[in-house]
Amino acid sequence: MLLLWLTKGGKGDAVVNGKGEVKAFVLMNVRAGTSPEVVSRARQIPGVISANACWGRPGIFVVLEAPNEKVLSDAVLNKLQLIQGVESTDTHLVIE
C-alpha cells in the first residue's frame, strides 16, 4: 500500500530546499536477479536523483524530487511501480 499525504505551509510540510519541491525516499523490493535492470530504468525517470541496489530488503533505494506532490505521486505510481521486476514500494516523504 502506498500512502502520500502532504500539507502546504503547516506542520508536516514536505517542501524541501526552499524551492517548493517535494522529496521522497522510495524503497523498492524487486524479484531476485532484476536489480541491475530496475536500477537502470529507475535512473531514467525524470526527478530520480539517485537509484542504488543494496544487499537485503529492500533491494533498491531511490531518491526522488518533484515540483509538487502530484508529479511525485505520478512518478511512483505510474513509473517506478510499473518497472518490470518491482514487487512493492515503500515511499517516505522528507519533511525537513
pLDDT at 96: 80
SS (H, E, C) 56-95: CCCCEEEEEEECCHHHHHHHHHHCHHHCCCEEEEEEEECC
CATH code of the domain occupying 20-93: 3.30.70.920
Round to whole Å and give the CA distance between 44 and 13: 27
Structure confidence by residue, pLDDT tens digits, 68-95: 999 999 999 999 999 999 999 999 999 8
Q: What is the pTM of this model?
A: 0.79
The structural domains of the chain, with segments of one domain joined by +, span: 20-93
User: Would you state the cell numbers that stand for residue 53, as one nine-digit string?
Assistant: 541496489
Handedness of CA 96, 4, 64, 68 (dihedral sign): negative
Nearest by Cα to 2 from 26, 21, 23: 26
DSSP 20: T
